[in-house]
Structures are given as C-alpha cells and as structure tokens.
Structure 1
C-alpha cells in the first residue's frame, strides 16, 4: 500500500525522478559558452535554448496534472519520460542552434511530467507539515543537481565535448523509466480518480484561479523561481566572462549558491510546526527581498565582486529554501481532490513567470552582474508585495 511507504524511501524515489528536469538544466550550464561557439551563435540565442525549455516545461504541466488525476500517476510519467528521452537524443544530434532550441522544447515537454506528478504524489501521501517535510526531503535529493550536475557537465565536456552531456541525460531518462516501472507504486487509487473533460477541467481551474490563497502562494513561489531562472540564464556568462572563472570554477560557485537553498529547505517543516507555515513564508520572503535589494544596490554602485555576489546569493537563496517548498504545500492543501490539476496549474504559472523573466531581462544583459542583480531584486520586490497582499488570508489557511 502506498501509504505505508516510509518518508525517506518516498523522498528518495520521488527525488530521483524529479531531479531529471533540473539535471537537464544544471548539467548543461557550464557548456553554454562552448555550445555557442561550436554552433556559431550568440548569448541571446543560447539563452533562448533555456527559455524554450522553461516555457515547454511550464505549459506541458497543464496536461500532465489533469491526466494524472484521471489515469493515475504512472502512465503520464511513462509518456513524459519517453518524450524527454526523444528530446534529449535530438539535443545530442543538434547541428544548429535552431535545432537545439526545438529539441530543448521537446525535452521540456517531457520533463514537465517529473515536476508535476511527484508533487501530486506527495499530496496523495501527506498534507500540512508532514507534506512540507516530505517536500523538503525530496528537495534534498534534488539538491544533488545544482551542487554536482554542473561539475559533472564540466567533466563530461573535458572527456567528450558538450554532446556527451546529452548522452548521459538520455541514460538518466532510461533509469527513471525503470524506477517508474519497477519501484514507484501507484498512489492514486481507482476510487479517487476523476473523469477529466473540458467542462470539469474549466470548472476546477476556475476554482483554483478564484482562490486568492492558491494564486498568491503560487506567484510568491513563482517569483522566487523566476529569480533562479534569471540567474541560471545569466550566471554562466557573468561568472566566466566578467569574473574569469573556468567551467569548473563556475560549477563550484553555482553549487555554493544552490547549497543555501537546499540547506534551508530542511528547516521549513520544523519551523512550520513551531510557528506556522504562513509565518515561515513571510520570514523567508522578507529575507529574500532584503538580500536581493542589497545585491542590486552593490551592483549599481560597482561594488559587486565575485565573493559578494556568491555570498549574498547564498543568503538570498537560503531564504527561498523556506519559501518555495512551503508555498508549494500550502497551495495544494485545500485542493486534494484536484491535486494533479492544482500542481500542474501552479507549476505552469511559475515556469511561465520564469520564462517571461528571462525574456524581459535578456535585452539588458551586457555580460556584467548588474542586469542580473536588478532582475533578481525585481523578483524579490514582487514576491514581497504579493506576500503583503496574501498574508491576511494565509493566516486562515491550515498550518498542519
């Protein structure tokens, strides 16, 4: 019975599946300058390969969530991982940047499954602080991606060039298919499945969109994730061109920036039990807004050295470690009967917000840290305003 799975075993299974999507981003980051040179393209086109992935990753979640509510959790996972595998092979064979952008879009369409469905499975198993605890454990497993994937990507580049990265991602997709087939149990029983049609889907989506707590929490976490996306799209060029880091040096700096997030995420559930999940969100968002505004001010003053950027982003991302897993759980708590749709709609809105943030910041990118810092600070300010608006309603949301 799925409910009898230990939390640690559940976290390991779900984390390994959910890590596939981030690996497709993080392992690829150190190679961006090399891929651009190999394909004879510029920074904007290489950032488009990230934007296409994020947009597909977001939009496809609208399909996987309702599908998972109707067919169970495993069938959509098989399809998504298979599509991810096709897109990954196409990336490895890309002869031009246009081909790569399209292949990354296909890869994102498939990778969306392993973002939506693990979150719905968590809601199948737990709610409240227990769900936050499991979400944080899943994120601990996923943390291997930003900490080790860029280093792995750098090593693979040295061994066989940038195409080798996609060969390894294809193997990861095959392993994930095996985990889904032989290890992951089905957590949605037949009696709990809902028939999805256009009318019911529209009605359920309307319930979610009209819920100010769901929408507020979704976009609070969404602006936090958007800051990550801006950083991801810019960091490889800022750290290598402005600060002169090698691909390995960039990978280490990137891992440090990510470590704060994943370390702090492990404290979200214990803090939620002590002071309430809504207060955890408020504290995290205020800290994130303050640190990102500080970095923006230093960048505008010309005082943003490598150590300053890495250190301040470490602190800002640690604050997001409290915010993102907690908002994900709180947004789904009141919508267990449509957890798949809620997870997919929330994920879509967040990923599209991230893609839009990259596109909005791209015209101002000049290879320095300032445009990146300004865009990230903007995300922090937006999250803070939304938290102030949503907080009165969050107090009435269940904390456990």
Structure 2
C-alpha cells in the first residue's frame, strides 16, 4: 500500500519507509519537469535523472508553508532594517560616532554570515526543527537584551549574537524549500517566499520610523523581540520536520570542510552564488548607507527615509512577481541575465543624475526603485540555480555556504562606501556600480563555462 505523502517527504524518492501520521492535506505529484542545472563531463547525474519528479503541495499546505518560511526569512531583514531610521538617534544616545553605529549593522551581517555556516550543517545532521527553534530562542533573548545596552561596544556584540541566531531562519528556510521543491518549482516558491519576506525590509523602516514617535530607539528592539517570540511559537506549532532521519548526515568537522570544498569547486554552485553575493553587495550598499545620504544630502527626516525605503522594497517585490510570471516564458538563465543587466543600467542612471547635478530625493528614489525591480529577478533565480544541483543531504551545507558568501562578501564590499570618510551619494553609487558590474561579469563567465562543458559532452 502506498504511504501518505507529508511535508517530511513530498518528493517521490523520499517517501518515508515506515508509516507516519499524515498531515491533513496531501501533496499532488506532477510528473513533467525540466532539468535545471547539469554538470556535463563531471560524471554527475542531472537533476532530472536524480529526482524523477517535481512535487506540488495542495494550496492550503503550500500557503501555510509560504507563511511560515516567509516569517523565518523575514527575521534577518527585520533585524537589519527595523532600526535604520533610528541610527542617528542611537549615535547621539550612546555618545558615539556615525561610523561606530554603522559598525553595528556590519556586526549583524557578520553574524548572519557566520551563523549560516554553522547552523546549515547542523540542520543536515540533526534535522531542521531543532536548530531552528534554538536559533529563534537565542535571537529573541539577544534582541530584548539590546534594549539595555550601556554603550556601543556591548551593542555591537549583541548584534553579532542576534545576527548569528537570526541566520537559522534564513538558512533553514532555504533548506526546507530544497527539501520539498526542485528546479523551476523551487524558483517559483523562492519568488513567493521573497514576496512575503520582502514585506520585512519594506515595512521595517516604516514601522521603525513610526515607533520612534512613541518613544526612544529601545522600543524598536522591544517590537523586534516580540516578533521573534511570535515566530518561535509559529514554528513550534506549524512547521513539521522536512528532513527525514534516514536522509540526515552525521559527519565530523573534517568531512564537513571537505563538503564545503566540493561545493566551492562545483561551478554549478559557485557561479550563481558569487553572482548573488555581488548583487547583494549592490543592494546592501544602498540599504546600509542611504539613511545617512538621504538625511545629510537631501534633508530627509527619519519618516521620509522610511517611506523611500518602502517604495524601493516594493520594487523588489514587484520584480519577484514579474519573475514568477516569466517562469513559463523565459528560461532561468535568461531571467537572471535580464535582472543583472537592468540593475547595472539603473545604477548608471543614479551616477548620471549625480554627474549632471540634478540628483534629488525623488529622482534617486525612482532610479533605486527600478534597480530593486531588477534585483527581484536576481535573487530567486540565482538561489535556485545554486541549490537545485545539490543532493538532499547537502542542502543545508549548500544553503549555509551560499548565505555566508552572500552576506560576507556583500556586506564587506558595502562597507567600503564609507572607508574614506562620511558616506556620500557619489561613494555609494561607485560601490553599487562596481558590485553590479562584477555580478554581471561573474554570471557571464559562469554561463560561458557551462556552455563549453555542455558542448564538450555532446
């Protein structure tokens, strides 16, 4: 008798060997699909050969999965963006410099990068739920503790802990998608996930700016801690385990490092991952610097900046929905190339406005909006390309390394915008253009090499 299909095993080849209590909803299996990433000449089987069929959850279960994973994906962006309007106030209250306060943003990004590198492999070994619940608990505690920091040094340390624990939501949500979906189905689900998660960076600064009307910057972290607690409860009651025990890998540090080394030598993984990391450097340069640029150059208030941020994040959400609409019309590599080309042109437009002396808050916001629309085509497709070629047992490790490189490289490059002094529109645009062009060049090299491998194997 065929066993019920649950979230633990929605793929045909991963059905549990013993009966388990089924979820209320079952999953319908769709047979037709495209292979997404191959490694001609490497001796590795294609995605289509290794995984005979893609799967589609019923609508109710899929919506619940989107909601839970969206909340997990939103924790990191909320930790990054909710307090952006309060940065000048925090500097004043703690008696420190603008540069020192910006380092707290770098701290949380470093935590996000390093945390994923640790939590991803742990989720491959112990399953998704345990590391996720622990991470959310630590995040909630660290966030509430930030409300009582005496100086910027303690603030930075707690932000590092906050970022490292928030990494659980980011890395494990991607691994769960990889557990359940593959190929174009994964790209579609990542786009829907970014739609939900995209509300966090869009609403974060808006909510943060409004919270400042109610009190000091501490109230912002009180609200963030409450959000972490709600997410912890949601995961505990609504997210089943997606990695069965027989699919888990219990490996030592040496073997784990070997897995990371194999991933770094796999062009199917490295090409899209570096493309994503450089593209993230472009968008994070804007995220980390524009609060100061908008207030010092254009005289915007904290509330006006939060509105600008909401408008540009709406562009990213729109781009993700355009990506969903294009999935059946345009091949995944072409969608990614479209996003990269559009992002480069948008940043060039900001540079042209600055050179012509016509840059103002409205025109720069319009250009940033268009840039974020094209960014919405980059992230889901690059992520799907990087992870779809990996086995289920390496999904957590692959997701961890992807996230570490994304946040490590991206935030590191973004920090160069303020190395020579206070951030200006020119320094912001220079870094954004360099990272956008770099992402396009890396992807072009990856695509050419993949084509040569394909021709050599033909």
Instruction: Output aligned runs, 1:1-400, within 5 Å.
Output: 1-2=6-7, 3=10, 4=27, 5=57, 6-337=61-392, 338-394=394-450
- Provide the TM-score with structure 1 as the length reference: 0.96
Larger Rg: 2
Q: 1:365 to 1:311 in 2, by over 3 A?
A: farther
The root-mean-square deviation of aligned C-alpha atoms, in Å, is 1.5
Q: How big is the shift at 1:367?
A: 4.3
Aligned-partner Cα distance in 2 for 1:191–1:273: 35
Q: 1:43 to 1:355 in 2, by over 3 A?
A: same
Unmatched segments (≥5 aa) in structure 1: none
Q: Do 2:340 and 2:440's aligned partners in 1 also have CA atoms closer than 8 Å?
A: yes
Q: Do 2:86 and 2:302's aligned partners in 1 also have CA atoms closer than 8 Å?
A: yes
Q: How big is the shift at 1:393?
A: 4.2
Give deviations 1:88-141, integer Å, cap 9, x for gaps.
122111111111111111101101111100000000110111111111111111
Aligned-partner Cα distance in 1 for 2:407–2:423: 24
Q: How big is the shift at 1:355?
A: 2.2
Q: Do 1:11 and 1:135's aligned partners in 2 also have CA atoms closer than 8 Å?
A: no
Residues 314-323 or 269-278, more deviating: 269-278
Aligned pairs, number: 397
Residues 93-102 or 191-200, more deviating: 191-200
Aligned-partner Cα distance in 2 for 1:207–1:134: 27
Aligned-partner Cα distance in 2 for 1:121–1:99: 34
Q: How big is the shift at 1:389?
A: 0.5
Residues 38-47 or 193-202, more deviating: 193-202
Give deviations 1:286-315, integer Å, cap 9, x for gaps.
111121122123324433211221011111
Question: SS in structure 1 opposite 2:113?
Answer: helix
Give deviations 1:162-214, integer Å, cap 9, x for gaps.
00111111111111111111111111111111112123212211211001221
Aligned-partner Cα distance in 1 for 2:287–2:94: 20
Residues 223-232 or 41-50, more deviating: 223-232
Aligned-partner Cα distance in 2 for 1:367–1:195: 46
Larger helix proportion of the pair:
1
Q: Do 1:241 and 1:367's aligned partners in 2 also have CA atoms closer than 8 Å?
A: no
Unmatched segments (≥5 aa) in structure 2: 1-5, 11-26, 28-56
- Provide the TM-score with structure 2 as the length reference: 0.84
Q: Do 1:84 and 1:107's aligned partners in 2 also have CA atoms closer than 8 Å?
A: yes
Question: SS in structure 2 opposite 1:304?
Answer: coil
Aligned-partner Cα distance in 2 for 1:162–1:370: 29
Aligned-partner Cα distance in 2 for 1:375–1:88: 31
Question: SS in structure 2 opposite 1:19?
Answer: helix
Question: SS in structure 1 opposite 2:419?
Answer: helix
Aligned-partner Cα distance in 2 for 1:193–1:367: 46
Q: Do 2:268 and 2:389's aligned partners in 1 also have CA atoms closer than 8 Å?
A: no
Aligned-partner Cα distance in 2 for 1:365–1:222: 25
Residues 264-273 or 138-147, more deviating: 264-273
Q: How big is the shift at 1:257?
A: 1.1
Q: Do 2:188 and 2:327's aligned partners in 1 also have CA atoms closer than 8 Å?
A: no
Which has the higher relative contact order, 1 or 2, with Cα contacts under 8 A spaced 6 or more apart? Answer: 1
Q: How big is the shift at 1:233?
A: 1.4
Q: How big is the shift at 1:358?
A: 2.8
Q: How big is the shift at 1:150?
A: 1.0
Question: SS in structure 2 opposite 1:278?
Answer: helix
